[in-house]
Structure 1
């Protein structure tokens, strides 16, 4: 069948339908107009009508169809050839680089800037030269390998320096929880790990055990706060209950405890010579006794106290039935257990003497405050429980 052309009216240019077989194409009659449209429009749109019901101009009668079936399906495809090129800053810099821009930059330099940049360039060159000479020197690598023999000292010293920094922030009231934990960890490292590591050249056995036991022991009061209040923070309280001995006494006590631990590491045998097995059962019993004594003493005191540190009554239960200051006694027992574990009897006697001198002074100040607060009630308790720190001894 020949193609039939039907004119269609438009405001811009006439368009025509070219119907060949079952396909209908829409195109302008004017070729110049078509070329102009294709050159100017950014997108190309093509429409295709698929006439599945045959040629509408055919004389062959077709069966009647619904009105909706007379509309052929429309398919539309849109394509765009527009693309953007990514700009490279390096290429842009070299493109903008010219002799005039270099001259303008040089004219803006002042003598001070010249001296500054020249000095910086000299430092960079000297540092690069020194680094390269050091890296290619065999003696450097030989000396560097020796430092691995002393790396625990480097770690311990770095931890101590950072611990002192955190302690300074703690005195100012600015230390967070991590910094407070760092203070405790640095102290316990220099008490339990560094001395035996220095005198033995290695670490094994009891020093590691007591490193963790010390942490657990001195964090009991924090766990009591968590149990009573639901958090770890101390509550405001009357400052009169902060029993503070003179600063010199505290410094001497701290130094004495440190010296006692170093003496124990020096006095005791080498770590691999300390027997194990059932012979250490008594030491484990002392550790458990110390932990239970500290925990129960703190817990009973907290139950009869406001804000944990302000006693509201005279506590006469738990460890307070045997000694009047079980918290101090448990601390002293912990140090004694450490000396027993390292087989250092002379160091044990030294630490006991240091603790007795310090805690005796602190206990007297505390008992005077208790008598002032509770009067006859505490006097009766003191007459009933005669021992301050050591049951049946003192």
Structure 2
């Protein structure tokens, strides 16, 4: 399921995949370390169940989006010569539903840790690196699909329907 681009597609991810792994790894290491130290400010107990729901829902959305893409999904940014512009399923609502799912999962994880600083240490850097990845990916998609991408991008949002 986790495949890199193969014979008829070349990677154009401009190190965004490596940046994702590094930022996520460091952010989680620091956030969990701080979380073990205990909260600096009171943390509302009701946020833990919400965190679990967001984490599981985000993972489910990410997998749904990946499965929907099927053979066109790759972990690196690449477009195969015969690849269509997918604008059905979750992609009819947002351009990057798998990233929406991942970000929801990280927000949920931050809520589950139960530490304000940990929450922001996970959410802000991870959102920043996903934003860079989206920028890279959208440039590749615009180059590959031209006017069809422009029309699709004009009618859909990046991550949240009707918002962003």
Q: Does 1:294 align with 2:62?
A: yes
Among candidates 345, 352, 360, match of residue 123 of structure 2: 352
Which deviations, in whole Å up to 9, do the C-alpha atoms of 1:162-205 show, x marking residues without a partner? xxxxxxxxxxxxxxxxxxxxxxxxxxxxxxxxxxxxxxxxxxxx
Alpha-carbon distance, 1:300 to partner: 1.4
Instruction: Specify the SS of the correspondent of 1:240.
Output: coil
User: Does structure 2 conserve the Cα–Cα contact (< 8 Å) formed by 1:257 and 1:354?
Assistant: no
1:1-394 paired onto structure 2 within 5 Å: 221-222=1-2, 236-238=6-8, 240-245=10-15, 249=19, 253=23, 254-268=25-39, 281-302=49-70, 305=72, 308-309=73-74, 310=79, 312-386=83-157, 388-394=158-164
After superposition, the Cα gap between the structure-2 partners of 1:355 and 1:247, relative to the gap in structure 1 and judged at 3 Å, is: closer
Consecutive unaligned residues of structure 2, counting only runs of 5 or more, are none
User: Does structure 1 conserve the Cα–Cα contact (< 8 Å) formed by 2:59 and 2:102?
Assistant: no
After superposition, the Cα gap between the structure-2 partners of 1:241 and 1:354, relative to the gap in structure 1 and judged at 3 Å, is: same
Consecutive unaligned residues of structure 1, counting only runs of 5 or more, are 1-220, 223-232
Equivalent residue number for residue 195 of structure 1: none
Across the aligned residues of Structure 1 and Structure 2, the Cα RMSD in angstroms comes to 3.3
CA distance in 1, matches of 2:163, 2:31: 22
After superposition, the Cα gap between the structure-2 partners of 1:340 and 1:392, relative to the gap in structure 1 and judged at 3 Å, is: farther
User: Does structure 2 conserve the Cα–Cα contact (< 8 Å) formed by 1:283 and 1:337?
Assistant: yes
Alpha-carbon distance, 1:350 to partner: 2.6
User: Does structure 2 conserve the Cα–Cα contact (< 8 Å) formed by 1:264 and 1:339?
Assistant: no
- Whichever structure has more strand as a proportion of its residues is 1
Alpha-carbon distance, 1:391 to partner: 4.7
What is the count of residue pairs matched by the alignment? 154
Alpha-carbon distance, 1:238 to partner: 4.1
Instruction: Specify the SS of the correspondent of 2:10.
Output: helix
User: Does structure 2 conserve the Cα–Cα contact (< 8 Å) formed by 1:319 and 1:326?
Assistant: yes
